[in-house]
Structure 1
Amino acid sequence: MKSFAVTVVALAAFVTPSLGAQFKISRKGNEPEVVPNKVIVELDSTSVLTTRGEPVDVHARFFEELDRRLPANAVKTKKKYESDVFNGAAIEITNVDDLKTITSMQGVKAVRPVLLVKGPHLNFQKPGKPAKAPGQYPPNIMTGVDKVQAKGNRGKGIKIGIIDSGVDYNHPALGGGFGPKFKIAGGYDFVGDDYRPDGTGAVPDADPMDSCNGHGTHVAGIIGANPDNQFNVTGVAYEATLRAYRIFGCAMYTDEAIIVDALVRAYKDGNDVITLSVGLSGGWSSSTSAVVASRIVSRGRVVTAAAGNSGDLGAWSAESPSAGKDVISVASVENIATGPLFEVATTLPDLPRFPYHWVGTLASIPVGDLALPIYATSNDSTVVDDACNELPDSTPDLSGYVTLVRRGTCGFMTKIQNVLAKNGSTIIVYNNGGTFASPDFAGYEQAVLVQDADGQALLDAYLAGKKFTVSFPQDHSTNVPNTRTGGLISETSSYGPTWEIGFKPSLAAPGGGIVSTWPISMGSFMLSSGTSMSTPHVAGIAALILKAKGRGAAKDIRALLQTTSTTVPATLIEGSEPQTLAQAGAGMANAYNALNYQTIVTPSELLLNDTAHWRSSHTIYIRNTGRKTKTYKLKHIAAGTALSLIEGTFQPAAGPLSLDSTAASVRLSTSRLTLGPGRSGSVFVIITAPKDAKTATLPIVSGHIEVATSGETLHVSYLGVASDLTKAQVIDTSPEVVGVPFPFLIDGTGNVQADPMTYSWVGEDYPVISWRNVLGSARLTIDLVAPNTKAPVGTNLNALANPAQKRALKKGWLGGIIGGWLHGRPGRGGGSYARVPIVGQLASFDMLRRQNLIDDPYIQYGISNVFLNGTAVAPGTYKVMLRSLKIGGDPLRQEHYETWLSPDITIPGAATTTTASTSASTTTGLSTTSTSTSAAAKKTN
């Protein structure tokens, strides 16, 4: 079915650029906003024959019809897409009313907004240059890549396209050049340095140099860095051929039209694997980039995409394009090593070196060749408040010492200030059992934190009267085991599932605390964290699999990596249950398992849906691909059940989500299965939702069916929601956010409208509707209805809400980034929904995301005196009706909507009888002779 789309923000920006300028990019850097006046039109590639059976160029026909039906200069073509995965165009329009004409054209399949994307900004520390590398690269050990590489597989001959900020191809670890003879063999720059958030300034060329950010260079190193560099960063598939597609300018903005352009070009360039460390929030799997990425996968390529770094927003935060069907959505796991850390050197023969943390990374503290004896501010290694007070008068001038202080009681800066008061400058703080991690030294660069035992050894030598000095050389670094979070899911990693209850993220890989390449001009190496780092790791693993199994294996890679992955625990406590699969996916990818296990298990995912549509019965198929008979043992392993709403409310729970011990019940037709070489068997599985689940919290249940045999442990993952989502409240009706129950109207003076009001639509005198989605909604409409209208069948939000309070609120467009589609074809469809009488439609949105209390608290939309079909609203009295479709609801059934009716609003003028109809396109009581509107009306249309 053809769909038409443009967001509210885009519509405001179409008419008044000053209004659109009020919107600002979210702090997260990957929240969507729209590019004003720009849409992506998808053309139906199957509509290629005339009535006489002659082939037709769908693009030519579309552009000809544009010229015929729209005024001159009404549309500017920004980009034409031509491929077997996507046909269409990115166009710029001058009049929003033209969108209705465009969507009605023959061969137009969909019209979607162009979403603006803010890329990640990474801080960096110019590294030192250690003469000795810190040993093996820990991320590769975590995923078995080191063992695959040791057997000679480094991905040679496989082509990987990196869609990011470009690559510093002059970096020695990345081949030191650009072109067919180099590691970075090609690519394209879609933006240039000066691309701006408003979509202007793009200067494309064939040189994808990462000149001003570094993100893409970091990603490229994770995939392809040659080993034996100063930090021993070793790319997962460092013999693969890479291509760089630059989509971010120096301001680190891009838009979805550029992402689609890059996806199509990377596909047409013949890349076997395409990876994107970029995401658009929303929770739905239907954005343009997700659709295109999914189609590329269906053509036999591998696409990996970042799950996102919005773990603080809780569940249902899947991002596009990773939300696309069969796209490998990658979560982040914390590195098992901390570092590389530089070291304190001593002249003590039994304590030559030990690591330290400071406020910097990948470098030694800036003290040059300093070598001094130590002075301990306390001789007691159990003192709890060392240097928390002014040092005694007996303290010598500390300028000739490195001062040793024990951690505890007071803040680091208190200790540092007391040492500075005695002319000290270089300080070693030794731990007291606290976390050994980067300390809060408030930017002070000549203090370090060392581990308890190392500090104790220094103090013992000092008290024993041994003569020694300490220094801080830059010729060596080391990795230290991360015993606090190593191997756990990063807290920042986004939670799924999608609103369609799709299994996202797909799996996980190392992403927390990853050292990789960085532009030479910015220091050459960098430590960074996030799903931006885990995603290219999986892309590299995919290349290793394609190298070993051939390109025909692409269609099976996601399932293979999921079933052979290693389970990610919820904690580091022995025996911990698995982390919810809504954040960890199937587990951490393991390249060695994927290439060496001689068992194939399918399917890799069991999608349970919600309790209203629960799929309890499943079949698991097991095939022994080895040469010996194997006996498989099957068992159920439940993961923690994630509570996605705050208990006792319908408000979304922020991350990290609480995990409940309730679990699904699983029955297996057999717990043992013996298969000869090359033989297959099946196991019937019945999964039942937990009876004691806290259904009001929309608990997400997940876990594994483990399939184990000698030397092999595989699993099939399941996920579902132990609640009926069709009964879950979608629109907030509480006063918790602004003191007024949602939804409500604000009048021209900024007060909540509680009684009937008359509006002039002159200046600011028009109503604004405010609402807040606590869950996503596949469709939300705003209509005008007759004043005697009662809430139709469905959930009556007026009955749920407390009586509206009069409260002064500043009229604005807070939280106006909606991320949904505004429809121009009111009254579409049939069923009980269409039979609800309306006078006319003002707005309709598809695929709305959920609001959050961090940076997107609620939505405000100005009510126009013009309907979507372009006709003016006749003088008279009306109510505003908002309807929001529940999760999993049928858009044709009114009973699946939540409905709210406003107080009466009156448009002054000659007496008019207001009559309702079932379609805005056939409404009565409308002025059909005049389609002009005032400037104020256009401002909020």
Structure 2
Amino acid sequence: MRRRPVVGALAAFGLAATTVALPSIATADDPDGPEPLAPVHTAPTSDQDTLVNETPGAWFVELETAPTAQGGKAAAVRSDHAAFRRAARDAGVEYTEREEFTALFNGFSVDMDSSQLGRLQRTEGVAAIYPMVQVAVPEPQTAAIPDMATALAMTGSDVAQNELGLTGEGIKVAVMDTGIDYEHPDFGGGEFPTERIPYGYDFVGDDYNAGSSDPAARVPQPDGDPMDCQGHGTHVAGIVGADGDVLGVAPGVTFGAYRVFGCEGSTEADIMISAMEKALEDDMDILNMSIGSSFTWPDYPTATASDALVDAGMVVVASIGNSGRTGVYSTGAPGVGEKVIGVASVDNTNNDAALAIAEPSGTEVPYTVLSDVAAPPTSGSTDPMVHVGRGCVDTLGDELLADPAGMTALVDRGDCTFDEKYSSAVAAGATAVVIANNIPGLFNGGGVVDAGVPGIGISLASGDAIKAEIDGGADVTLAWTDQTTSVVSPTGGEKSDFSSYGLSPDLTLKPDLAAPGGNIHSTYPLAKGGYATLSGTSMASPHVAGAAALLLEADPEIGTTEMRDLLQNTAEPILYAGTYVETVHGQGAGLIDVPAAYAATTSVTPAKISLGESVVDRVDGAPVYEPVTTTLTVANDSDAEVTYTMGHTTALATYGDTFAPSLAILDGTAEFSATEVTVPAGESAEVDVTITSPGFDGFEVIYGGFVEITGDDGSEVTVPYAGFDGDYQDIEAITPIDLGDGEMIDVPWVSRITECAEFVEFDCIDPAGTFSEAGGESFTLDWVDGLPDYPYVVAHFNHQVEDFEISVIDSKGRTKGAFTVAADLGSLGRSETSAGIQAFVWDGTATKKRGNTEVTKTLKDGDYQLHIDALKANGDRSNPDHWETWTSPTFTIDRH
């Protein structure tokens, strides 16, 4: 199958290319940096004028022996566990054991006050400690009803089913999620275990919610029934392999349902690893995880456990995250795992929208229902329509352009919330509210409080047509129908705006590839209506899992790592605005193409190139750039000799603020050791590609592109690459907090913590500002009646850090050789927003060295300071410039 050229990709979907003004290609000597093509999005901020506490609560403890799935001996792992329990008891570590792991991760998860971290870190046998992340069920975006068939067509999955006869039969797919409604007819119905869903387990119970304020709800109540009461997992499973009113990608697969969420709320990472070990025990072929935690490193336990699953013979597919609106470096575990297929989302090409008819013209008007407003009737007509303008009465002081009392209000989208527009019209007496889009296409209006009046959204074109009729003097009404119509999405085939951007914090290229995830219609629990339309990378990941099942059915010998290479080699790079190649760190290799992967006779390894940072040194302050040379191995698996031609396409770059970067067109280059290479049948050849960065040191540029290899037999494969243009360690990691509107808080600071009625609040010593702003005067922390008043270090992370250490300094300034780390937490993720904080406690102890041993000691009352050493991402420990440091003002410990 010959693949479509990149430039023609949207045309092949039946979409008209949009025109965007093309800025000139920037050059490295431009003093103001790259010329912005467009902002990625608006910078996110906190929902309130306050700090957002992102401090973790529980912890993973990793021990030294390799887990059994990676070669560790079971006896050695058991010995590790026993030794740790003894050592922790002897060290006085106060903790509660949650879960014990042996196969994919060697160690434990524990509940423990963060004041115990210093003792735990120094316990014999502990290799590493990781903060436990809570993982919420990814919140979907409701959407117009699309046709699942168009999503299948986007990846050629329909061709694989109808022309190649592939269904995924015989392949076992694990879905780790909220469970599956096994009674749903699209899965064959019946009582668990069923023919389609013979495997599964509920690790948590209906009432479990890791984020609940009720301690009882945070305790898992596992059982053997993986019935879904939330909905997300049933929707995901339908995309993988429903066979009914919804047709999934691989309708013949056998499912394992591993439930890690209750009916609402979040789960925790240790429960995910327990489910992974169960999937391994059940000998699943593929694991889909449409869940994850953004901003995490590839060494996080859910990522390394996933890598261990791949080593054990399982294809692991995971959503890359829905944090694209929070900026770059927002990908998360487990999708950032080295061997995991991390999946980005593209929007579906078509929506099936409900249909009304404008009278008297008879014009068809597709519409979506405003979120949380009751759907209009399927017959009858509205009252006559009147155009009232944008309807921002409360926030912007608008006066409605006309009186809608007893009529249908036509409102313009923009400048205030959908709820304000709807409520303003209803308050003025409107009997129905129609909001017209201000850009092409339909939209999904959310956050509306139903007032018993129908509320819908229509396209810009429909709104303009109705306004023209009204201006012409016609009494325009909408006739409701029970029909639907297919409408082209203006963003169809493009990266979904919610889909997380890479790179991984270690500059590994993530995501790996993309699939349809925006506006996907799939199965839903019968108790919730049976079907729903949701958006998210959660919907893209199962599409790839289903595709992997089809390819495994066709060739059971495809290796677990080979599967990702195959899908990347044959993916189609997607476009931005129909014109430019989308960022590589937004799409990976591009949209998967199942028939192309099935028919591929050419492969290239490595299938992606992570370039790292381009500035390797400075001479008299000027950056020294170093090109990166990679050897590509081109394999010809056909039965005839093929001559391959090397080519290169540049993709868009991002630059600037981590939380709100801009897009730019930058001119990187690729040079080959040979522009053509002839490879005999069944053999391979090596070609070197040398990639030179655009040369924009200091602007935090992430750039990328595609190596294109075209055979004279019509074969086409691509290899994506991406890197950081500049000195990566120039990024400031620990920065002040931005509350918006120019309000900044200078952190870090030392604080005390108080439990308030609704949330945890950090009490700065000077109520007018931060501690550091208070002039550095000392304060006293009182241990009253033995109850500790611990000091906390509060910090905001503008970027991920590779190591984070807190040391203790006494009143005489002694640290070296006397006191060591109070807390050493290893790699940490960046804050989610510009107002995010994390807090780290000091328990009043330190370690004193005596020869080659370390003794933990409780320090006497007196004056102290806490000192931060943070190693920047990918930093050199021996280079002082790669560390950020901070020393607190003096404070006093007074126990009484």
TM-score normalised per structure 2: 0.78
Residue 782 of structure 1 aligns with which residue? 806
Instruction: Supply the distance in 2 between the matched residues of 1:157 and 1:67 (Cα, whole angstroms).
Output: 47
Partners of 2:344 and 2:588 within 8 A in 1: yes
Instruction: Supply the distance in 2 between the matched residues of 1:599 and 1:245 (Cα, whole angstroms).
Output: 37
Residue 356 of structure 1 aligns with which residue? 367
Cα gap change, 1:222/1:848 in structure 2, threshold over 3 Å: closer, same or farther? same
For residue 865 of structure 1, what is the amino acid of its counterpart? G
Partners of 1:759 and 1:767 within 8 A in 2: no
Residue 488 of structure 2 aligns with which residue? 481
For residue 356 of structure 1, what is the amino acid of its counterpart? Y
Are 2:714 and 1:696 equivalent residues in the alignment? no
* Structure number having the greater strand percentage: 2
Partners of 1:865 and 1:872 within 8 A in 2: yes
SS in 1 for 2:825: strand
> How big is the shift at 1:487?
1.3
Deviations, residues 620-653 of structure 1 (Å, cap 9, x unaligned): 222222344434332111111211x43xxxxxx3
Residue 633 of structure 2 aligns with which residue? 621
Residue 437 of structure 1 aligns with which residue? 443
Instruction: Supply the distance in 2 between the matched residues of 1:365 and 1:262 (Cα, whole angstroms).
Output: 39
Residue 865 of structure 1 aligns with which residue? 844
> Residue 157 of structure 2 is aligned with which of 145, 152, 156?
145
For residue 757 of structure 1, what is the amino acid of its counterpart? S
For residue 502 of structure 2, what is the amino acid of its counterpart? G
SS in 2 for 1:757: coil
Are 2:237 and 1:220 equivalent residues in the alignment? yes
Are 2:211 and 1:190 equivalent residues in the alignment? no
> How big is the shift at 1:75?
6.1
Instruction: Supply the distance in 1 between the matched residues of 2:88 and 2:422 (Cα, whole angstroms).
Output: 74
Partners of 1:624 and 1:677 within 8 A in 2: yes
For residue 316 of structure 1, what is the amino acid of its counterpart? Y
Q: How does 1:737-748 map to 2 (within 5 A)?
A: 739=744, 741-745=746-750, 748=765
Q: Flag structure 1 segments of 5+ consecutive residues without an equivalent.
A: 1-23, 49-53, 129-133, 379-386, 647-652, 791-826, 828-835, 909-933, 936-941
For residue 81 of structure 2, what is the amino acid of its counterpart? F
> How big is the shift at 1:68?
8.2
Instruction: Supply the distance in 2 between the matched residues of 1:94 and 1:417 (Cα, whole angstroms).
Output: 47
Instruction: Supply the distance in 2 between the matched residues of 1:245 and 1:468 (Cα, whole angstroms).
Output: 53
Q: How does 1:540-559 map to 2 (within 5 A)?
A: 540-559=546-565
Partners of 2:385 and 2:477 within 8 A in 1: no
Q: Which moved more, 1:275-284 or 1:511-520?
A: 275-284
Partners of 2:269 and 2:302 within 8 A in 1: yes
Partners of 1:780 and 1:882 within 8 A in 2: yes
Instruction: Supply the distance in 1 between the matched residues of 2:514 and 2:48 (Cα, whole angstroms).
Output: 25
SS in 2 for 1:357: strand
Residue 492 of structure 1 aligns with which residue? 498
SS in 2 for 1:263: helix
SS in 2 for 1:696: coil
Cα gap change, 1:35/1:439 in structure 2, threshold over 3 Å: closer, same or farther? closer
Q: How does 1:688-837 map to 2 (within 5 A)?
A: 688-691=692-695, 693=696, 695-709=697-711, 711-732=714-735, 739=744, 741-745=746-750, 748=765, 750=767, 751-752=771-772, 753-755=774-776, 757=778, 759=780, 761-762=782-783, 768-785=792-809, 836=816
Q: Flag structure 2 segments of 5+ consecutive residues without an equivalent.
A: 1-45, 388-398, 617-625, 752-763, 848-854
> How big is the shift at 1:295?
0.9
Instruction: Supply the distance in 2 between the matched residues of 1:70 and 1:293 (Cα, whole angstroms).
Output: 31
Instruction: Supply the distance in 2 between the matched residues of 1:135 and 1:866 (Cα, whole angstroms).
Output: 61
> How big is the shift at 1:727?
3.7
For residue 308 of structure 2, what is the amino acid of its counterpart? R
Instruction: Supply the distance in 1 between the matched residues of 2:819 and 2:83 (Cα, whole angstroms).
Output: 35
Residue 24 of structure 2 aligns with which residue? none
Residue 163 of structure 1 aligns with which residue? 176
Instruction: Supply the distance in 1 between the matched residues of 2:294 and 2:464 (Cα, whole angstroms).
Output: 49
> How big is the shift at 1:538?
0.8
Instruction: Supply the distance in 2 between the matched residues of 1:466 and 1:904 (Cα, whole angstroms).
Output: 77
Deviations, residues 434-468 of structure 1 (Å, cap 9, x unaligned): 54324578757535455577678889999999999
Partners of 1:32 and 1:280 within 8 A in 2: no
Alignment RMSD (CA, Å): 4.3
Instruction: Supply the distance in 2 between the matched residues of 1:404 and 1:367 (Cα, whole angstroms).
Output: 17
Partners of 1:429 and 1:449 within 8 A in 2: yes
Residue 851 of structure 1 aligns with which residue? 831
Partners of 2:584 and 2:651 within 8 A in 1: yes
SS in 2 for 1:867: strand
Q: Which moved more, 1:768-777 or 1:697-706?
A: 768-777
Partners of 1:193 and 1:250 within 8 A in 2: yes
Partners of 1:178 and 1:185 within 8 A in 2: no
Partners of 2:121 and 2:128 within 8 A in 1: no
Instruction: Supply the distance in 1 between the matched residues of 2:121 and 2:461 (Cα, whole angstroms).
Output: 71
Deviations, residues 250-308 of structure 1 (Å, cap 9, x unaligned): 23221111010001111121111001111123331111111100111122211111111
User: Which one scores higher on RCO, CA 8 angstroms, separation ≥ 6?
Assistant: 2
Cα gap change, 1:628/1:472 in structure 2, threshold over 3 Å: closer, same or farther? farther
Deviations, residues 875-898 of structure 1 (Å, cap 9, x unaligned): 555543221112222335555322
Instruction: Supply the distance in 2 between the matched residues of 1:32 and 1:551 (Cα, whole angstroms).
Output: 44
TM-score normalised per structure 1: 0.74
> Residue 58 of structure 1 is aligned with which of 77, 94, 103?
77
> How big is the shift at 1:689?
2.0
Cα gap change, 1:495/1:480 in structure 2, threshold over 3 Å: closer, same or farther? same
Partners of 1:42 and 1:111 within 8 A in 2: no
SS in 2 for 1:721: strand
Cα gap change, 1:595/1:877 in structure 2, threshold over 3 Å: closer, same or farther? same
Q: How does 1:414-425 map to 2 (within 5 A)?
A: 425=431
Q: How does 1:439-458 map to 2 (within 5 A)?
A: 443=450, 445-450=453-458
Cα gap change, 1:471/1:777 in structure 2, threshold over 3 Å: closer, same or farther? same
Deviations, residues 674-698 of structure 1 (Å, cap 9, x unaligned): 444334333221112223x1x2222
> Residue 659 of structure 2 is aligned with which of 654, 662, 667?
654
Residue 325 of structure 1 aligns with which residue? 338
Instruction: Supply the distance in 2 between the matched residues of 1:419 and 1:743 (Cα, whole angstroms).
Output: 48
Aligned length: 788
For residue 268 of structure 2, what is the amino acid of its counterpart? D
> How big is the shift at 1:376?
6.0
Instruction: Supply the distance in 2 between the matched residues of 1:420 and 1:896 (Cα, whole angstroms).
Output: 59
Instruction: Supply the distance in 1 between the matched residues of 2:48 and 2:340 (Cα, whole angstroms).
Output: 25
Partners of 2:627 and 2:693 within 8 A in 1: no
Partners of 2:250 and 2:550 within 8 A in 1: yes
Instruction: Supply the distance in 2 between the matched residues of 1:748 and 1:210 (Cα, whole angstroms).
Output: 48
> Residue 115 of structure 1 is aligned with which of 120, 130, 133?
133
Instruction: Supply the distance in 1 between the matched residues of 2:348 and 2:592 (Cα, whole angstroms).
Output: 14
Instruction: Supply the distance in 2 between the matched residues of 1:415 and 1:57 (Cα, whole angstroms).
Output: 65
Are 2:819 and 1:839 equivalent residues in the alignment? yes
Partners of 2:341 and 2:513 within 8 A in 1: yes
For residue 375 of structure 2, what is the amino acid of its counterpart? I
Partners of 1:546 and 1:553 within 8 A in 2: no
Deviations, residues 130-183 of structure 1 (Å, cap 9, x unaligned): xxxx86611111111111111210111100000001111111112213445521
For residue 702 of structure 1, what is the amino acid of its counterpart? G
> Residue 218 of structure 2 is aligned with which of 191, 200, 205?
200
Cα gap change, 1:888/1:516 in structure 2, threshold over 3 Å: closer, same or farther? same
Instruction: Supply the distance in 2 between the matched residues of 1:307 and 1:315 (Cα, whole angstroms).
Output: 12
SS in 2 for 1:544: helix
Cα gap change, 1:371/1:873 in structure 2, threshold over 3 Å: closer, same or farther? closer
SS in 1 for 2:559: helix
For residue 720 of structure 2, what is the amino acid of its counterpart? S
